[in-house]
Amino acid sequence: MNAEGRRFDLVVFGATGFTGQYTVDEVSRVAEEERLSWAVAGRSMEKLQKVLSEASERTGKTLEEIPVIIADVSSPQSLAEMAKQTKVVLNCVGPYRFYGEPVVQACIENGTHHLDISGEPQFLEKMQLLYNKKAAENNVFVIGSVGFDSIPAEIGLEYTRQQFKEGELSNVESFIETKVGPEGAVINTGTFESAVYGVAYRNELGSLRKALYPDPMPKLDYRLPKRSFLFFNDDLKKWCLPFLGSDKSVVYRTIRDGLNSQRLKKPIEFIPYTCCSSLFSAMGIILFGLVFFFLSSFSWGRSFLLKYPHIVSLGFFKKGGPTRKQIESTSFSMTFVGYGYTEDVTDRTGQKPNKTIVTKLMGPEPGYVTTPICMVQSAVTLLKESSNMFHKGGVLTPGAAFSGTNLMERLQKHNITLMTISPDNSQDKKAD
> What is the tens place of the pLDDT at every residue in 198-218?
999 999 999 999 999 999 999
Contact 420, 359 (CB under 8 A): yes
Indicate the pLDDT class of residue 3, thresholds 50, 70 and 90: low
Average pLDDT over residues 176-204: 90
pLDDT at 315: 85
pLDDT at 428: 45
Beta strand spans in 95-195 (E): 113-116, 141-143, 168-179, 187-188
- Amino acid at the residue 421: I
The DSSP H or E segment spanning 163 is helix 151-164
Where residue 430 falls among pLDDT bands split at 50, 70, 90? very low
Select 8-147+370-406's CATH number: 3.30.70.330, 3.40.50.720, 3.40.1690.10, 3.30.450.40. Answer: 3.40.50.720
| Predicted structure pTM score | 0.94
Examine the pLDDT at 349 and tell me if it is beyond 80. no
Mean pLDDT of 263-286: 95
Whole-number average pLDDT of the chain: 93
Q: Judge whether residue 348 has pLDDT over 50.
A: yes
Q: What string of DSSP letters covers 146-160?
A: -BTTBHHHHHHHHHH
- Residue 120: HSE in the Cβ half-sphere, 13 Å Cα cutoff: 29
Tell whether the model's pLDDT for residue 338 goes beyond 60: yes
The number of beta carbons lying within 10 Å of the beta carbon of residue 332 is 20
Q: Domain coordinates of the chain in residue numbers? A: 8-147+370-406, 151-367+412-421
pLDDT tier at 426, thresholds 50, 70, 90:
very low
Among the ranges given (16-30, 129-143, 292-306, 318-332), the one the predictor scored with the smallest mean pLDDT = 318-332
pLDDT above 50 (res 399): yes
In this predicted model, what pLDDT tens digit does every residue of 252-267 receive, in sequence order? 999 999 999 999 999 9
Band the pLDDT of 2: cuts 50, 70, 90: low
Q: Which residues contact 333 (CB under 8 A, 6 or more apart)?
A: 176, 177, 179, 360, 361, 362, 363
Q: Kindly report which listed range (47-56, 129-138, 145-154, 420-429) carries the lowest average pLDDT score.
A: 420-429
DSSP line for 324-360? HHHHHT-EEEEEEEEEEESS--S--TTPPP-EEEEEE
CA-based angle 396:391:208, to the nearest 5?
A: 30
Tens digits of residue pLDDT in 69-114: 999 999 999 999 999 999 999 999 999 999 999 999 999 999 999 9
The 10s digit of each residue's pLDDT in 114-123 is 999 999 999 9
- Nearest Cα to 399, choosing from 117, 158, 91? 158
